[in-house]
Each structure stands twice: as C-alpha cells, then as structure tokens.
Amino acid sequence: MEVTPVSDIMGAEVTGVDLSVPMDAETQCALRDAFLKYQVLVIRDQHLTPLQQVEFSSQWGELEIPDNVQHTHGDSNRVMILSNEIRPDGSAVGVVDGGDFWHSDSSHHTVPSMITILQSVRHPSKGGDTEFCNMYKVYEDLPEETKAKIEGKLGVHHVSKVKNKRVTVSPDRPGAKDFYEMQAKTREDVLQPLVLTHPETGRKALYCSPRFTLGIQGMTEEEADPILDELFGYITDRKRRWHYRHKWQDNDLVFWDNRCVCHRAVGGYGLPDIRCLHRTVVAGDRAYTDQQAA
C-alpha cells in the first residue's frame, strides 16, 4: 500500500489496496494512520457493490441508517444514494441537494457522524466536484483574540434550511421546502463545541459550519453573527487556503473525518447529465459536549 499526498493542505491518495476484500490488520492499521494524518483519503478504481461498501465501511465502526429510507439502496439500508436523477413520475432516485453548503455531517445530531464514505458510481461530464476544508488548519490560523472569544463556547446547530438565513432551499429537490419546514417544527437545536479537540489525534479543530450552525449559546444574534461570519469566512475563503478540491472519476472511493473536515458538493452539472454516488456513514461514538463542556 502506498500513500501519496494530493495537496500540501490535506488529503492523500492510497494505491495498492483492493477494498472489495477484507483487509489484514496491518493494512487496516496503516490506513487508519493515513486517515488521521491526511483527514481525506482517495482510493481510485474501486468497484464495490453496495454490500461490499457496507463491509468496508463497517471496519471503521457502526454504520448509521439514513433517515430518508426512500433514498437508500435496495441491497442495504446503510447505503444512501446521492443522485440528481428524477424518475418519469417526478420522484427522485436519490438525495438531489446533498451537501450543497459547507458542513460537517450530522453536526445537528447530539452524536454527529464520524466518517463519511462516498463511492462514485456515475460522474457527470462536467462539474460535480467535492471540496474539503481542513478545520485544524483553520483553527490554527485564527487570530488569538478570536480563539479566546470562542474557547469553551457552544454553537447552536439545526438541520432545517428554512431556519438558516445563510443557506437556500434547492428548487431541484422535489418537496424540499415542506421537508425543511417540517424539520423546523419537529427537531430541537443541538449544541456543539465551537472548538473540538479531536478524540484520537488530540488536535484542536474549528467545529461549525454555515449549513448547520445558526448561533452561539448565550449570545444574541447581534453578538454571535459577527463571530460566526468571521469563522465561516475561513471556510468559504475565495483563496481556498485550507482546502482540497476532489475531481471525481467513476469508481473513486473517498472518505473523510467529519471531526476535523468541512465539505461541500460544488455542483455545476445538470440533467440530462447524471451524478450518482453511494454514501455510507460511520456513526460517531460520543457526544462532544460530554467531553468538553463549556
């Protein structure tokens, strides 16, 4: 197995492994080391069936069962389909607007996702990249004054897009507005530390995102907004100083560490061009607020 960095900032390509067969303990260990060191791993030319993807993903921990059952794969309810394909009856084959704003997966849950694993099944002729932001580097780059302002503070996270003035609801996803309105009514806010000490590496990372973080506990909107805008400015930074952009090929398998990485689907494609990925998610093993309370 060889590990080659894909940028100076984060990410590495791993070659010499076949993920469709079980890995020996030594390879597994080397892959975990690379994962913790580079945060995003790219493994090309993998042809995993949904069940093989589940098998590979399960080596990293327990898998989440996606909420939206109608977009899971027929072979396994652990595999969610991300796709812009619309059936003749108007229904969507997969999640159409998945990841369209910067976020860390499921930070709106008390126990957020740990690792997200995507395999490209079909790639559009143009567009469809995924961008990643290294949240360790962002944290390290913050002015000391900002670090002091956010130390020990908790961000307020919510899944509903209609509660969040920084995002919009995609017109391409059938029924999206009703779905997010229902979530606004039925889901509670969740608190997460703004600075997360990674449970395995011990490094500090900024932990918030324009998609899910709406405020800061104990602050008014007027107090929290300038701080959040400053923090989000590092993630959306035009110069992309702390970022890696993955240009997909069919059969790429990419996975990342949600504890220290924000990501977004860049878009830039449209029907009849189809983008389809299979997504599995390793569940988190702890609530971060239990570990590092304000």
Among 293, 34, 242, 239, which residue's Cα sits nearest to residue 139? 242
Among 137, 130, 106, which residue's Cα sits nearest to residue 213? 106
Among 130, 134, 160, 280, binds ligand SIN (CB under 6 A): 130
Q: Token pair for residue 109?
A: 């849950």
Residues 63-92 touching ligand SIN, rule: CB under 6 A, are: 82
Q: Is omega for the bond preceding 210 within 30 degrees of 0, making it cis?
A: no
Q: Contact, 211 vs 164, CB < 8 A?
A: yes
Q: Contact, 41 vs 31, CB < 8 A?
A: yes
Give least dist CB 131 to ligand SIN, A.
8
Give least dist CB 126 to ligand SIN, A.
15
Give least dist CB 84 to ligand SIN, A.
10
Among 99, 112, 210, 284, binds ligand SIN (CB under 6 A): 99
Q: Token pair for residue 150?
A: 């956010």
Residue closer to ligand SIN, measured from CB, 41 or 265? 265
Among 7, 78, 88, 27, which residue's Cα sits nearest to residue 49? 78
Among 11, 94, 98, 112, binds ligand SIN (CB under 6 A): 98
Residues 216-275 touching ligand SIN, rule: CB under 6 A, are: 263, 265
Give least dist CB 252 to ligand SIN, A.
11
* 120 is a contact residue toward ligand SIN (CB under 6 A): no
Residue closer to ligand SIN, measured from CB, 118 or 154? 118
Q: How far apart are CA 82 and CA 84, in angstroms?
A: 7
How far, in whole angstroms, is CA 45 from its chain's centroid?
22
Longest pairwise C-alpha distance within the chain: 55
Among 104, 107, 116, 164, binds ligand SIN (CB under 6 A): 116
Give least dist CB 214 to ligand SIN, A.
19
Residue closer to ligand SIN, measured from CB, 107 or 192? 107
Strands 12-15, 40-43: pairing is: parallel
Give least dist CB 83 to ligand SIN, A.
10
Q: Which residues bind to ligand SIN, rule: CB under 6 A?
A: 82, 98-99, 116, 130, 263, 265, 277, 279
